[in-house]
Amino acid sequence: MDIDFLMPYLVHLVVLYVSVGVIYLVYKYKSRAVTPNVPPGRKGLPYLGETLDYVLASRRGTPEKFVTDRTTKYSPDVFRTSLLGEDMAIFCGAAGNKFLFSGQNKYVTSWWPHSIKKALMDPSSVDNSSKEESTKLRAYLPPFLKPESLQHYIPVMDIMAKEHLDQHWSRYNQVQVFPLSKKYTFSLACRLFMSVHDPEEIEKFAKPFALATAGLISVPIDLPGTTFNRAVKAGKVIRQELLALITKKKNQLLEKGLTVASDLVDSMLMDGMTEIEIGNKIVGFFIASHDTTSTAITFIVSYLTDYPDIYNRVLEEQMDILRSKGPGEPLRWKDIQKMKYTWCVACEAMRLAPPANGAFREAITDFTYAGYTIPKGWKAFWTVHSTNKNPNYFPDPEKFDPSRFEGNGPAPYTFVPFGGGPRMCPGKEYARLEILTFIHNLVTRFKWEKLNPNEKISYIPSPIPEEGLPIKLQAA
């Protein structure tokens, strides 16, 4: 068959094929040339990423394994993953902590995952810039969370600790430490932040808040029956209750013409913030001051049970303070300053059972770290699980040893339960005073023993004793 007439078409086809091949090769070459050298790692499943892996490791009580497995496989400095639907770089070790803390607003800015915003914050305000939110938040610290102001709240904390122990501990032979510590810290926050004293009104916030925080670090699937769905529903209830309370306080301020704030909500109202903005801030303060502090108290009680010699030394320190007080005289700032060893015990408890896992950031520009490029828009995460049990920083890391925190304490950026840099937790001093005041009252009134020494611990997202840490009480 004569195919000469097809030759021009075949030539054109070959030329076209070769051209397409050349274009493809050039594209691949250029793509490789411009693709940044991102940290090694894997993205996991579509949408879910490695969120399920992280959640499962946490539920098993070993969140640090998620980190150590990947630092061993990919890089000890930084690795790539995908959590909560976002490309994410996990910064590890003291150097990683230092870089993120010192790079605030230069390389990174604060960031909340969409799932957390959806669960706890008002939908109309979730797009506010984190940098702007952070600046606003700190504008309200001077009257409340600065150490010089918190000194005046120590007697209130002391009185509330005594009332709590009278009502919920002294009447019983057995108690569950974790739910009771949550009740105490939540009641204290309600009183100091919102002037809420009524137990029934406190309970209106406490129940949905527990559901909401349980879904903070969960697979973000908003379907009926999921942890995340329950968190979203609970968040709506919290916002409704807060809005009603804030509106009521606003009307009271206007009616009475008050010019002096009695609590955090009053202060923000007087400074012209909207009810929605105030609600978001209060939620943030509750997360920082309630869940994490109650977890710390629970594990201090647990470790004091396990180590009688350490318990006796704490008791001696606290009894010396008690003997220096007059009848009915509340704790003062000078007393808190004497609780040095007790705070070492608290720090060691927070090292082994960290109340908070870390915090998120967002890259605001391309930057390089440890030889890898972090693209603008990527999310970053620093985590205590890369340092707290790292034998390079803490020899014999599983041993409970409060002496690690005596003298100069651990090396910088190795123990960061409250973060660091410009974004250090504003409630650090509040938490310290709350913890020490409670432990003082507890050890000077009671002795205790665990009912289940082998109780399992899971992280949801903070460490939680699965049975609530049941103990048997007796008078000291």
What is the per-residue pLDDT for 14?
47
DSSP structure string for 73-108: HT-SSEEEEEETTEEEEEE-HHHHHHHHHHTBTTTE
Q: Does the annotation list 425 as a binding residue?
A: yes
Enter the tokens of residue 70. 């990947």
pTM to 2 decimal places: 0.86
Overall number of domains in the chain: 1
| Separation of alpha carbons 285 and 137, rounded Å | 10
| Separation of alpha carbons 223 and 49, rounded Å | 18
Instruction: Supply the mean pLDDT for the chain.
Output: 86
* Within-domain flag for 24: no
Residues of the chain with pLDDT > 70, as a percent, come to 86
* Within-domain flag for 237: yes
- Give the pLDDT mean for 391-401: 96
Name the band, by pLDDT with cuts 50, 70 and 90, for residue 144.
low
Dihedral sign, Cα of residue 101, residue 88, residue 218, residue 221:
positive
* Within-domain flag for 16: no
Selection from 176, 181, 241 nearest residue 208 by Cα: 241
* Within-domain flag for 55: yes
* Within-domain flag for 29: no
* Within-domain flag for 161: yes
Summarize pLDDT for 402-452 with one digit per residue, the tens: 999 999 999 999 999 988 765 566 678 889 999 999 999 999 999 999 999
What is the per-residue pLDDT for 424?
64
Summarize pLDDT for 96-139 with one digit per residue, the tens: 999 999 998 899 998 888 777 787 776 666 554 455 555 454 44
Summarize pLDDT for 327-364 with one digit per residue, the tens: 989 999 999 999 999 999 999 999 999 998 899 999 99
The region of weakest confidence among 97-101, 111-115, 321-325, 393-397 is: 111-115
* Within-domain flag for 31: no
Determine the structural domain holding residue 425 and report its residue range: 3-8+36-475
* Secondary element (H or E) of residue 131: helix 130-139
Residues of the chain with pLDDT > 90, as a percent, come to 57
Contact at 8 Å (CB) between 242 and 249?
A: no
List the CATH number of the domain containing 82: 1.10.630.10
Enter the tokens of residue 242. 């807060």
| Separation of alpha carbons 466 and 443, rounded Å | 24
Reduced to 3 states (helix: H, G, I; strand: E, B; else coil), residue 368 is strand
| Separation of alpha carbons 309 and 292, rounded Å | 26
Reduced to 3 states (helix: H, G, I; strand: E, B; else coil), residue 71 is helix
Instruction: Give the pairing of strands 379-383 and 86-91.
Output: parallel
More confident residue, 426 or 213: 213
What is the per-residue pLDDT for 365?
96
* Within-domain flag for 351: yes
